[in-house]
Chains A and B, each alone.
Chain A
Amino acid sequence: MTSKAGGPARGNPLDRRDAMLGVMLIAPCVLIFCAVIVYPLVSAVYLSLFNIFTPTLQGNFVGFKNYAELFAGEEFWRSLFNTLVWTVCTLFLQVVLGVAAALMLHQAIVFRALARSLILFPYFVSTVVAVLVWRWLFNDLYGILNHLMIWSGLLQMPLDWLGSMPNAMVSIVLVGAWKYFPFVVIAILARLQTIPDQLYEAATIDGAGAWARFTDVTLPQLKDVLMVVVLLRAIWDFKEFDLIYLMTGGGPLIATQTLPLMVYKEAFGLDAMGRATAVAVAMMSVMLVFMVLYLRRMGKEEAR
């Protein structure tokens, strides 16, 4: 990243004018950032120290009481646990399915462009559409899924997919995997296209079979991109709201309630805006670990 405007010639008035122009160009972005991101972020931490009644937005300072109550109660820990279960399970499925599908789509199959579009489509469709479709598929009386499974002998009785445990968690994990595995496909497919063919030829000459070629050539080449994909998806799955809220609403009871859902419930179901921001801030602190890991990783890649 070299730029004519920069360099050691600090004193040059022309360069300083260029730097001024650069600052002016970025200024609108910075202003908007401050208004819609930095201010709300600081404000969230501040609000979490208050006890605020949502309908009137009136409240008083309570210090760390919100956090103390949160960590003493069971609901926060249960929601954190649910969030981790959801994230780990759905992420695992996304990666396995995504890598498998990418390897498949990398081969020459007929109508490959169409096949790719069809595989990628779930990722681009709105979560609302995905949820409506899946709730119709999961419908306990008329849903096609129960019928197919009974017809094929996998089930004896129609299953209540969303209203009981552990089915509800399994269902959202499956729908999450279906909706988001194309992201992994896109990233892996792009990387696969850059692996030199000579590596495979050399491995074949050395007598490697298909499986050995995969574990000894493909996987090591994919390692870097997989790290990035796993981190990114971990962050995004951790903060997922739409899909879970619309599929189960956190139910039955709070069995599938993740942290983002708890924030929403505290704020607009229980009218405790202060406590809700405390949950949000606590949640972000957990996420910060992944975020820092990702930022470091990207920093390394930029430097390269």
Chain B
Amino acid sequence: MKRIAFNLMAWTIVLVTAFPLIWMVITSVKPQFELFRIPPTFWPEEITFEHYRRLLWETPFLTFMRNSLILSFSTTVLVVGVATLGAHSLVRFRYPGRERLAQLVLFTYLLPSVVLILPLYLMMVWLGVANSLLSLVIAYTSFALPYALWLLRSFMQGIPDDLESAALVDGATRMEAFFDVILPQALPGIISTSLFTFILSWNEYLYALVLVNTDSARPLTTGVMSMLVSSFNIEWSLLMAASVMMSVPLIIIFAVLQKYLTRGFGAGGVKG
């Protein structure tokens, strides 16, 4: 009896927490006129995918989606590639200034983007790449690289030294040992770091707001918000459909790769 009561209470709390997201999905399939019913209906009386159709074919949503995909993929590949080498160096090599560097990485990981954004904006104008996806990739490395480096470093610290030593004794060079021994061991860590970096880039808003102001280079975050601001009367069902579509990659990552995500939690790798 006590068990059932506890379960009921727990699930009530879970559903209340998830309610805004459930409501988002419900609103996105309601016909427009049903939104303005008083009192509101909970379950839609009629399910329609009209808003999704309009979103995909009558708004620049697909352009934003393409931009976001290119942007997040490029940032992730660039950052995780560079950070894997860097983290390996921080964990397995000795040279002057290494400890200092590790501390600096942690420091930059906490740095507020509003401080960096104005000089970065000037830099992009000066380089002549303002208003392009390239400028965003460059800017995104400023938060993604410290993050990925720090996360990968903690993953790689968990790989026993003996594995590499054994390979070295067998006559492998340091780089061979890195590719044949360390990389396969670090792969789960690299995958979860990539996922988190992808999510970070996918959700970023401030840099996109400041650095890009043409629809052709806007990612989803600022693109969808510009749909809200530019419309005369706000079409909530369209915006909710956009929100659902925007969250689809996250849901996929969440469902399919939960194993890797929890590994990331274990390493303390979650960023706000």
B94 x A5 contact (CB < 8 A) = yes
Q: Which of B17-64 contact A (CB under 8 A)?
A: 17-18, 20-21, 23-24, 27, 35-36, 38-40
Interface string of B150-189 (1 = CB under 8 A from A): 0000000100010011001000001100000000000000
Instruction: Sort chain A's interface into a size bin.
Output: 35 or more
Instruction: Sort chain B's interface into a size bin.
Output: 35 or more
- Residues from chain B with a CB closer than 8 A to the CB of A62 are none
Q: Is chain A's interface secondary structure helix, strand, loop, or mixed overall?
A: helix
B14 x A118 contact (CB < 8 A) = yes
Interface residue? B132 (CB, 8 A): no
- Residues from chain B with a CB closer than 8 A to the CB of A6 are 93-94
- Residues from chain B with a CB closer than 8 A to the CB of A3 are 91-94, 161
B18 x A32 contact (CB < 8 A) = no
CA distance A105 to B6 in the complex (A): 11
A236 x B92 contact (CB < 8 A) = no
- Residues from chain B with a CB closer than 8 A to the CB of A238 are 112
Q: Which of A103-121 contact B (CB under 8 A)?
A: 104-105, 107, 109-110, 113, 115, 117-119, 121
- Residues from chain B with a CB closer than 8 A to the CB of A121 are 18, 21, 250, 254
Q: Is chain B's interface secondary structure helix, strand, loop, or mixed overall?
A: helix
Q: Which of A19, A105, A128 contacts B93 (CB 8 A)?
A: A19
A133 x B24 contact (CB < 8 A) = yes
CA distance A30 to B85 in the complex (A): 11
Interface string of A126-143 (1 = CB under 8 A from B): 111110111011010010
- Residues from chain B with a CB closer than 8 A to the CB of A277 are 115, 118-119
Q: Which of A259-287 contact B (CB under 8 A)?
A: 259-260, 263-264, 267-268, 273, 276-277, 280-281, 283-284, 287
Interface residue? B257 (CB, 8 A): no
Interface string of B112-127 (1 = CB under 8 A from A): 1111101110110100
- Residues from chain A with a CB closer than 8 A to the CB of B138 are 35-36
A22 x B6 contact (CB < 8 A) = no
B21 x A133 contact (CB < 8 A) = yes
CA distance A133 to B22 in the complex (A): 10
A178 x B17 contact (CB < 8 A) = yes
Interface residue? B74 (CB, 8 A): no
A233 x B202 contact (CB < 8 A) = no
B141 x A36 contact (CB < 8 A) = yes
For the A-B complex with A25-B86, A44-B118, A236-B271 known, give 18 more contacts whose Cβ atoms are closer than 8 Å.
Answer: A1-B91, A3-B161, A22-B95, A28-B86, A29-B149, A32-B82, A32-B145, A36-B116, A37-B116, A40-B142, A57-B122, A105-B10, A110-B7, A124-B250, A132-B24, A147-B38, A239-B112, A268-B210
A183 x B270 contact (CB < 8 A) = yes
CA distance A183 to B272 in the complex (A): 8
Interface residue? A47 (CB, 8 A): yes
CA distance A37 to B168 in the complex (A): 36
Instruction: Report the nearest A residue to B126, measured CB to CB.
Output: A57
Q: Which of B10, B14, B106 contacts A295 (CB 8 A)?
A: B106
- Residues from chain B with a CB closer than 8 A to the CB of A260 are 112, 114
